[in-house]
Amino acid sequence: MDGKAISFQDLNVYKRLYAAMLLVMKEVLPKLPSEEKFDLINQLSLANFPLEFPSLDGRGWGRGKRCFTCTGQKVPNSRNQMRRCCKSSLAIIAEGYARKNYKKDWLKYINEAIGECNEMIAHLSCCRDLYPDKISINATNKLIEEYDISGKQLYRLGESWGKNKEGV
């Protein structure tokens, strides 16, 4: 960042994440196969597919009756998760910047944004490995690198902010 940030939009990490979001929205998501749009879970019937899980009280294994809803609902998959995630890191930085004078709050938002960067790396890695015929491996690797760099920038921003601000 050159000089003092007047707005969250002045942060280099915000600019980097915004550019990455545009690439994800324009270059990656439209190329994902249609089956990535939704996972249908109505094929699962817990009556036919009982779940075994360790009991919380430590008395061995029990049978699950309903650990999730199997009503034929559409559950968002990679495409929708990525759409939300790449925008979310921007919104978290914007929201957190409003709390920049409160060290503890600002650091909480920075950590959340780092988590969103990590989530995007995981989603992009899956897309790269599952759909190399649909999505450019080089472009995906470049985006993974951008999110990795952004996560490191956010970490350093949090460290330097903590040294320069006492906060409330």
Domain spans of the chain? 8-36+77-164, 39-76
User: Under a CB-based contact definition with an 8 Å cutoff, are residues 132 and 84 in contact?
Assistant: no
**CATH level 3 topology of 8-36+77-164:** de novo design (two linked rop proteins) (1.20.1440)
Check whether 90 has a pLDDT greater than 50: yes
DSSP secondary structure code for residue 100 in this structure = T
Give the pLDDT confidence score for residue 23 in this predicted structure: 97
- Residues whose CB is less than 8 angstroms from the CB of residue 62 and which lie 6 or more positions away in sequence, other chains included: 52, 53, 54, 55
Q: What is the mean pLDDT of residues 101-130?
A: 94
Helix (H, G, I), strand (E, B) or coil at 67: coil
More confident of the two residues 160 and 3: 160
Give the pLDDT confidence score for residue 120 in this predicted structure: 96
User: Under a CB-based contact definition with an 8 Å cutoff, are residues 52 and 71 in contact?
Assistant: no
User: Under a CB-based contact definition with an 8 Å cutoff, are residues 135 and 86 in contact?
Assistant: no
